[in-house]
């Protein structure tokens, strides 16, 4: 069967049973102790979320439904055998836990193309912002404007039964994923190409089409985009963007975004605030992704590298690089692209981009600099004594690859990350609704409460 929706329909009852059994048989099993450090340390090390689509191992990195990145590159269909995986194949894998056939992926590519239309008001909403607004602000605003179309919201207003929530969530999710490259490329062309937009290609796959709409038709860039969208999609549930998307009930954020867009939209938004639809949830996720310690780090890395080039030239020596790293640290900044909240080894998302670079751009001077940083930065971060992971993350590498193919506008990079993240966040959101997962509401305490508790403990 090449239809994703019918596959899911079959799978959902099984998984509902599985969750029910887990709850009734093991609901009282303890998973660990919460310490004061964990409460003060942003809940690091605290297991507290269910996230089915992927799992992050601190040493080994991400696995999508049990498959590592090299395994995904091997088993997920590409445009040609041996090519980079197609992101729609990953979406299928995340949603069903099964590796799709090429026919299934082709059908999904086609379905996404069919859903790839964006109403005019979305462009007008983006156009209301100054062209100088950050690309992520323009992108998230476009997503909020898309929300007007939400099927989930319509169904909810009509009184849809709980057990059916996943269906309009699925509808919205697939449409949102399909629409994002259009909104994202509109933002790109508006800011950098005098508004010369390129329409959706009528036969290209998702990643290829996205590159095409950004104005890139070099086959290697299309392959890069497929790989890029695949590896940035999901990183289990606790990172800022995924967690925000999952939390899905913050409407104040949406109000801020909607200021000036009219009362009607604002009212619509408030109605759905208790069980936000995929558009609202994903817009919230994007706002988290736009932070410099999270998704914006890819922009920061390229800007940082360019500042090195400006000051020291392209062929900067390792000693010179070391000095520059120390200068950054001594001015109270982080070295972007290094470190991680969970990972304790080199990010496999970094490694696969490095392999791509060794294959396609081995002599690029900026790639050489990235390689040198791989040697220079970790010992310096270790010397600081407090950094838990001195190794590079996904963002340390993506910019130089994009830059090599002509996508040089670093401020735009997080938008690409955002398009990809929709795949992981929406896949989990569909399961959130199918499994009827509870709204999050962790308990918070004050310093006084902690002091009193510890005195008695």
Residues found near ligand AMX in the complex (CB under 6 A): 239, 293-295, 297, 329, 334-341, 381, 386-389, 393-395
Q: Which residue has the tokens 């989990």?
A: 428
| Order of strands across the sheet that contains 54-57 | 54-57, 61-64, 67-68
From the list 340, 347, 397, 432, the catalytic residue is 340
From the list 294, 347, 397, 432, the catalytic residue is 294
CB of 329 to ligand AMX, least distance (A): 6
Nearer to ligand AMX, 56 or 176 (CB): 56
CB of 153 to ligand AMX, least distance (A): 30
CB of 239 to ligand AMX, least distance (A): 6
CB of 36 to ligand AMX, least distance (A): 16
**Tokens, residue 94:** 């995340």
3-state helix, strand, coil split of the chain in percent (to 5) is: 65, 5, 35
CB of 290 to ligand AMX, least distance (A): 11
In sequence order, the 6+-apart residues with CB closer than 8 A to the CB of 13 are none
Nearer to ligand AMX, 96 or 371 (CB): 371
3-state class (DSSP) for residue 112: helix
The Cβ-side half-sphere exposure at 62, using a 13 Å CA radius, reads 28
3-state class (DSSP) for residue 61: strand
In whole angstroms, give the CA distance from residue 427 to residue 410: 28
Q: How would you classify the pairing of strands 67-68 and 54-57?
A: unpaired
Instruction: Give Cα separations from 457 to 146, 226, 447 (angstroms).
Output: 51, 53, 15
In whole angstroms, give the CA distance from residue 8 to residue 1: 11
Chain residue whose CB lies nearest ligand AMX: 339
From the list 134, 395, 397, 432, the catalytic residue is 395
Q: Which residue has the tokens 């403990």?
A: 457
Q: How far is CA 78 from its chain centroid? A: 21
State yes or no: is 395 an active-site residue: yes
| Buried b / exposed e along 385-395 (16+ C-beta atoms within 10 A) | eebebbbbbbb
Nearer to ligand AMX, 187 or 335 (CB): 335
In sequence order, the 6+-apart residues with CB closer than 8 A to the CB of 38 are 44, 45, 46
CB of 299 to ligand AMX, least distance (A): 11
Nearer to ligand AMX, 220 or 334 (CB): 334
Calculate ∠ Cα 3-4-8, nearest 5°: 125
3-state class (DSSP) for residue 296: coil
Nearer to ligand AMX, 226 or 235 (CB): 235
Question: What is the torsional sign of CA 427, 433, 438, 439?
Answer: positive
CB of 165 to ligand AMX, least distance (A): 29
State yes or no: is 397 an active-site residue: no
- Other CB atoms closer than 10 Å to residue 152's CB: what's the count? 28
CB of 387 to ligand AMX, least distance (A): 4
Nearer to ligand AMX, 105 or 302 (CB): 302
Nearer to ligand AMX, 148 or 387 (CB): 387
| Residue of 178, 175, 301, 289 whose CA lies nearest to 243 | 289
**Tokens, residue 390:** 């001195």
In whole angstroms, give the CA distance from residue 127 to residue 346: 41
Nearer to ligand AMX, 402 or 430 (CB): 402
In whole angstroms, give the CA distance from residue 378 to residue 257: 39
Nearer to ligand AMX, 88 or 395 (CB): 395
CB of 394 to ligand AMX, least distance (A): 6
State yes or no: is 243 an active-site residue: no
Q: Which residues are catalytic?
A: 294, 340, 395
């Amino acid at each position: 069967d090449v239809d994703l929706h019918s596959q899911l329909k079959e799978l959902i009852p099984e998984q509902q049973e599985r969750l029910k059994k887990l709850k009734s048989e093991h609901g009282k099993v303890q998973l660990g102790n919460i310490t004061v450090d964990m409460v003060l340390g942003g809940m690091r090390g605290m297991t507290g979320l269910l996230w089915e689509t992927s799992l992050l191992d601190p040493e080994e990195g991400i696995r999508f439904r049990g498959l590592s990145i090299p395994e995904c590159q091997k088993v997920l269909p590409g445009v040609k055998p041996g090519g980079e995986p197609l992101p729609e194949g990953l979406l299928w894998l995340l949603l069903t836990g099964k590796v799709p056939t090429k026919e299934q992926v082709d059908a999904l590519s086609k379905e996404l193309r069919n859903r790839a239309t964006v109403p005019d008001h979305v462009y007008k909403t983006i156009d209301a912002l100054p062209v100088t607004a950050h690309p992520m602000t323009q992108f998230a605003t476009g997503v909020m404007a898309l929300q007007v179309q939400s099927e989930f919201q319509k169904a909810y207003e009509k009184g849809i039964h709980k057990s059916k929530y996943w269906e309009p969530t699925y509808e919205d999710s697939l449409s949102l994923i399909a629409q994002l490259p259009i909104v994202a490329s509109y933002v790109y062309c508006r800011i950098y190409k005098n508004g010369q937009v390129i329409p959706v290609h009528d036969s290209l796959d998702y990643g290829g089409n996205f590159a095409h709409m950004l104005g890139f038709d070099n086959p290697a860039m299309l392959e890069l985009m497929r790989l890029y969208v695949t590896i940035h999609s999901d990183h289990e549930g606790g990172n800022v963007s995924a967690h925000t998307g999952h939390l899905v009930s913050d409407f104040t954020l949406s109000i801020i975004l909607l200021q000036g867009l009219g009362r009607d939209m604002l009212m619509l938004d408030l109605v759905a605030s208790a069980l936000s639809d995929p558009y609202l949830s994903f817009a919230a996720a994007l706002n988290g992704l736009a932070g410099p310690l999270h998704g914006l780090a890819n922009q920061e890395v390229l800007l940082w590298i360019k500042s090195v080039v400006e000051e020291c030239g392209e062929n900067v020596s390792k000693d010179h690089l070391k000095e520059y790293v120390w200068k950054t640290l001594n001015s109270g900044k982080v070295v972007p692209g290094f470190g991680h909240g969970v990972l304790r080894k080199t990010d496999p998302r970094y490694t696969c981009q490095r392999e791509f670079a060794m294959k396609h751009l081995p002599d690029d001077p900026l790639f050489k600099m990235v390689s040198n940083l791989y040697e220079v930065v970790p010992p310096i971060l270790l010397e600081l004594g407090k950094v838990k992971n001195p190794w590079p993350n996904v963002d340390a590498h993506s910019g130089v690859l994009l830059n090599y193919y002509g996508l040089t506008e670093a401020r735009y990079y997080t938008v690409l990350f955002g398009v990809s993240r929709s795949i992981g966040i929406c896949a989990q959101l569909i399961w959130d609704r199918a499994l009827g997962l509870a709204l999050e509401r962790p308990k918070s305490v004050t310093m006084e409460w902690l002091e009193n508790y510890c005195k008695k403990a």
